[in-house]
Amino acid sequence: MKSLVLFSNDLRLNDNDAINASAINGITSTFVFVYDEKLYAETHGSANLWWLEKSLTSLQSRLAEKGIKLHILDGELVSTVTKIVEKYSFEALYLNRNKHPSFSRAEDHIENNLKKLNVSFNTFNKATLADPSTILNKSNEPYKVYTPFYKHCKSLYFQKDVLTFPTEPIKTYDLDEPQMNILSIFSKKNNGWSKKLDQYWKPGELEAVKKLESFFKGYLSEYKDIRNFPGTEGTSKISPHLRFGEITSNQIINYFNFHENHMLSKHEEHYIKELYWREFSYYILHHFPYVIDKPFNKKYEKFEWKQNYEENLDLWKKGKTGIRIVDAAMRELWETGWMHNRTRMIAASFLTKNLLIPWQEGEKWFRDTLVDADIANNVMGWQWVSGCGTDAAPYFRIFNPILQAEKFDPDNNYSKKWLDDDFDLYPADGSSDLLSDNKFIKPIVDLKISRNEALERFSRIK
Ligand SMILES: Cc1cc2nc3c(=O)[nH]c(=O)nc-3n(C[C@H](O)[C@H](O)[C@H](O)COP(=O)(O)OP(=O)(O)OC[C@H]3O[C@@H](n4cnc5c(N)ncnc54)[C@H](O)[C@@H]3O)c2cc1C
């Protein structure tokens, strides 16, 4: 059988079902990635595109080492794949499902087209551990709260074998098609930011595994205690690698050796719980697809956000709100394309509950600037913080960023790192008392007044 393997957000050689199935069933395999500029612009922010370019480069060279060409083609996804299948008379297509709704729709169209051509269409799921459609509560309905969802999953712990790249040489069939210049995905257009991100990240499967192994040998043993402190290296920073499928959650969960009577420590279990927050995000997106841009809890559609907020939104993006921990967080994001989970919550809470700016604006900025920007996790994170999502923080729980900083950045390590020389320009308590003193940066909003205004607006829609 002449088979085509189509990549999207599964940029790895190991634990890749599509590759292994094609190698087993195919007489020849052809490896293809289609860069559909419109689809990628719609579904990937700038930082995502930077990562994609590097990750594809890495995948291409890993395949080349094995004598396999990765064809990177430029064109609309559905028509390009259909055309290639027809032109070269492929008999089977293999792909790992991409769970972004826009990609899912495109994959469904490809499936329909191939059916008409009598070409076999084979899909696999390693984007998540769980298959959302099979996990339902006792009333046969989707879970809407994380804890029972996790308990259900825990009783099953979706651990499958981890596949390794086939050891037998794969016979390939090369296409006679123009190869796209990978650098036109990002570098040619956005040189400046690229150089910045280069300092902090090394996309690709090998780095993902290296990072995971070093986390398992190091900080995992303290994870539950230090994961909330942004001034430490307490989390795995595996998120962008997971986002692009350079590593699977199945590979990660297999590091825990459940089958060997290994008792999980509280830190290990907590790490698994966080992985299942990602599962839960995809689960909710599957069952309630409207959450992509609307509140899970529909009554919050009526929430009255501030009008004419552009100036404050811009100051928030630039890390110039006058609130130390918020500005440090926003500058970390701009500098590195990543932000610690605790400060994601603080910055998001400040935007939605102090500045009263719609969560969709923050989600959009994170989508453009996070290297790990992920449709399900980002939307869920924003809805959780702003109080309109599943399991959401209740509306009356409004983070005080000053108290959050005192608790989670007690020595100001984080703020000092990202604010650098500007650190001393902030009144430590964020209060307005010192505002007459021009040497301090003025907070753009009074925390107490804005908090009360948010509570009042929330109470109106209860
Ligand atoms: C407003 C907001 C926006 C967010 N946007 C994104 C996003 O676009 N992409 C993204 O991957 N995560 C997002 N998160 C979740 C979380 O902040 C990141 O997954 C985490 O910071 C990634 O760092 P890590 O890999 O070091 O995490 P670790 O603590 O090492 O956790 C390991 C993995 O578990 C998963 N995970 C951890 N925490 C969460 C969480 N709260 N929700 C869902 N999954 C989690 C991630 O896949 C993470 O890589 C967002 C959170 C908030 C509050």
Which range (23-27, 86-90, 244-248) has the least confidence?
23-27
Does 166 fall in a domain? no
SS3 4: strand
Residue 366 in contact with ligand 1 by CB distance below 6 A: yes
Residue 62 in contact with ligand 1 by CB distance below 6 A: no
Residue 382 in contact with ligand 1 by CB distance below 6 A: yes
Does 171 fall in a domain? no
Q: Calculate what percentage of the chain has a pLDDT beyond 70.
A: 95
Q: How far is the CA of 429 from the centre of ligand 1 (A)?
A: 28
Number of domains observed in the structure of the chain: 3
Residues 304 and 277 placed together within one structural domain of the fold: no
Strand order in the sheet with 120-124: 70-74, 28-35, 2-7, 92-96, 120-124
Q: Which domain holds residue 52?
A: 2-125
d(CA 175, CA 3): 12
Which pair of structure tokens corresponds to residue 247? 């590593």
Task: Looking at the CA of residue 373, tell me the nearest atom of ligand 1.
Answer: 8
pLDDT at 76 over 90: yes
Question: What is the CATH number for 352?
Answer: 1.10.579.10
> What mean pLDDT do residues 381-389 have?
93
Residue 294 in contact with ligand 1 by CB distance below 6 A: no
pTM score: 0.96
d(CA 143, CA 259): 27
Question: Per-residue confidence at 261, pLDDT binned at 50, 70, 90?
Answer: low
- Domain limit, last residue, from 287, 315, 340: 287
Which range (290-294, 302-306, 326-330, 394-398) has the least confidence?
394-398
Residue 14 in contact with ligand 1 by CB distance below 6 A: no
Which pair of structure tokens corresponds to residue 147? 């804890």
d(CA 350, CA 365): 14
Per-position b or e across 167-206, b if 16+ CB within 10 A of its CB: eeebebeebebeebebeebbbeebeebbeebeeebebbbe
Which range (54-63, 245-254, 390-399, 400-409) has the least confidence?
390-399
The per-residue pLDDT for range 181-205, each reduced to its tens digit, is: 999 999 888 777 888 999 999 999 9
pLDDT at 160: 79
Which pair of structure tokens corresponds to residue 320? 């110039």
Which pair of structure tokens corresponds to residue 363? 């989600």
CB of 222 closer than 8 Å to CB of 258: no
Residues 432 and 448 placed together within one structural domain of the fold: yes
pLDDT at 190: 76
Question: What is the CATH number for 142?
Answer: 1.25.40.80
Q: Match 């900025």 to its residue by tokens.
A: 365
> What mean pLDDT do residues 410-433 have?
84
Question: Of 352, 346, 451, 353, which Cα lies nearest the Cα of 409?
Answer: 346
Residue 394 CB burial class (10 angstroms; 0-12, 13-18, ≥19):
exposed
Does 183 fall in a domain? no
Does 88 fall in a domain? yes
> What mean pLDDT do residues 228-255 have?
96
Q: Which residues, 6 or more positions from 129, have their beta carbon under 8 angstroms from its beta carbon? A: 153, 158, 159, 249, 250, 253, 275, 276, 279
Residues 137 and 101 placed together within one structural domain of the fold: no
> What mean pLDDT do residues 421-441 have?
70
Residues 307 and 281 placed together within one structural domain of the fold: no
SS3 28: strand
Question: What is the CATH number for 41?
Answer: 3.40.50.620
d(CA 233, CA 330): 18
Task: Looking at the CA of residue 378, tell me the nearest atom of ligand 1.
Answer: 5
Residues 134 and 228 placed together within one structural domain of the fold: yes
Residues 323 and 454 placed together within one structural domain of the fold: yes
SS3 6: strand
pLDDT at 326 over 90: yes
Q: How far is the CA of 239 from the centre of ligand 1 (A)?
A: 6
The per-residue pLDDT for range 226-237, each reduced to its tens digit, is: 999 999 999 999
pLDDT at 1: 85
- Domain limit, last residue, from 232, 257, 287: 287
Pairwise pLDDT comparison (108 vs 397), residue with the higher score: 108
> What mean pLDDT do residues 391-409 have?
87
Q: At what angle do helices 359-369 and 46-65 cross, to 10 degrees?
A: 30
pLDDT at 35: 98
Angstrom distances, CA of residue 249 to CA of 348, 362, 401: 26, 27, 32
Residues 138 and 113 placed together within one structural domain of the fold: no
Residues 236 and 342 placed together within one structural domain of the fold: no
Q: How far is the CA of 340 from the centre of ligand 1 (A)?
A: 8
> What mean pLDDT do residues 376-382 have?
97
Residues 306 and 455 placed together within one structural domain of the fold: yes
pLDDT at 193: 80
> What mean pLDDT do residues 16-38 have?
96
Does 108 fall in a domain? yes
Residue 374 in contact with ligand 1 by CB distance below 6 A: yes
Q: How far is the CA of 293 from the centre of ligand 1 (A)?
A: 19
CB of 3 closer than 8 Å to CB of 93: yes
